[in-house]
Structure 1
């Protein structure tokens, strides 16, 4: 099984059209900064700019008063996922108040990791959950033989594949067509307190309906 990990790759220009966390979002002309609809009414914090096959995923999550707004719930209004067309994007005007930006911009490079699930099967315990591709790829990132810990904090998430250990009843439906959305990405908090997307120590999940160009975000 293959997993496309997103790996921290140093800093990036704040308005660059490259895979990154932080910086300034790029959006079509006339697009306005999304505001929290869960309670605080402040600007959502821009988390990530992720170019994909049919556009750019732009992810926003409320961080104005962590824990007060339900940033972990897909229909709370405390997060937004947009699938913008790749052409004619421009930097958005940043709100003057509220927690709108991450402290730093982190470049992302992708790394395809191939694992043999048979190596992780416990033949003596058939009740075990099947090996999870993302969990295994992240846990084994840059781990040498007989080394207990790798460099998991370099992993900022993954692109495509399937959502790690997420129950079917939590898969979000598209608000436009009511169909089940496709899984698009995992998001991890990040490599340091200066760059991290604060998710309360949880894993973030990004979904998208490519037909309606609608997106959704939730955490585990």
Structure 2
């Protein structure tokens, strides 16, 4: 059982075209910064995720944490966008609102293989690949692995413990979305994304170049 974990890898330039949380978005010319459907303020930029089919951008409302339902895929308090990798440029950041994280966290990928027999879940319930990989990361000895808090999420795979009735539809076509990534809050107060202490889920609709975000 294999999982591609996203691991904290120090800092990065705010406009680097690399896997990272924080910094400024890279988007096509003419990009308009997304705003919250609840409070109307600009969303905070969480993550820049280059993947094999494009670049995924994640925005979540932080103007008044708890007031807007940023954990709900249909609330309008978050946004997931997908762009082709070519021709992206740093975008202008709104002068008002909570728009950027205080620090940028570079991400490195680690393919972790775990034995499903290590899982201790309920009888008849298959072990969760992400949960096992994240837990296993903290136990691995040597320089290759760090502490569990350094896990910033994962790419691909399946959404950890998310019930089928919570799988979001595409906000444009109402069709099914595919799972893109897990997001963890982060390493420390400066770099952390406010997820309310929960795990974040990122979904995309490739034909519409949009997606959905929610937490558990």
Q: TM-score, normalised by structure 2?
A: 0.94
Match of 2:91 in 1: 92
Shift, 1:121, TM fit? 5.6
After superposition, the C-alpha distances for 1:87-139 in whole angstroms (9 at most, x for unaligned) are 100001011111000000010000000112123367xx735x32100001111
**Secondary structure at the residue paired with 2:139?**
coil
Contact 1:121 1:130 in 2 (8 A): no
Q: Secondary structure at the match of 1:83?
A: strand
Match of 1:206 in 2: 202
Deviation at 1:11, TM superposition (A): 0.3
* Cα RMSD, aligned residues only: 1.4
CA contact (8 A) 1:8 1:155 kept: yes
Q: Distance in 2 between matches of 1:199 and 1:67?
A: 10
Q: Does 1:131 align with 2:130?
A: no
How far apart, CA to CA, are the structure 1 residues paired with 2:90 and 2:52?
Answer: 21
SS class of match (1:5): strand
Equivalent in the alignment of 2:178:
182
Q: Following the alignment from structure 1 to structure 2, what is the Cα–Cα distance between the partners of residues 110 and 175?
A: 29
So what's the TM-score if we normalise by structure 1? 0.93
Contact (CA 8 Å) 2:22, 2:100: kept in 1 or not? yes
Query: Could you say which residue in structure 1 is the equivalent of 2:148?
Result: 152
User: Which structure 1 residue ranges, 4+ long, deviate > 6 Å from structure 2?
Assistant: none
Summarize deviations over 1:156-189 as a string: whole Å, max 9, x none: 0000000000000000111333221100000000
For 1:54 and 1:119, the matched residues in 2 are separated by: 33
Separation of aligned partners in 1, 2:90 and 2:62: 21
Task: Tell me if structure 1 keeps the 8 A contact 2:151–2:184.
Answer: yes
Residues in 2 aligned to 1:168 and 1:214: alpha-carbon distance in whole angstroms: 20
Name which of 131, 135, 141 aligns with 2:137.
141
Question: 1:144: Cα distance to partner?
Answer: 4.2
User: Quick check: 1:156–1:189 contact (8 Å CA) kept in 2?
Assistant: yes
- The count of aligned residue pairs is 212
- 1:59 paired with 2:67, answer no
Structure 2 equivalent of residue 161 of structure 1: 157
Specify the alignment match of 2:188 in structure 1.
192
Alpha-carbon distance in 1 for matches of 2:105, 2:140: 26
Tell me which structure has the larger Cα radius of gyration: 1
Aligned to 2:101: 102
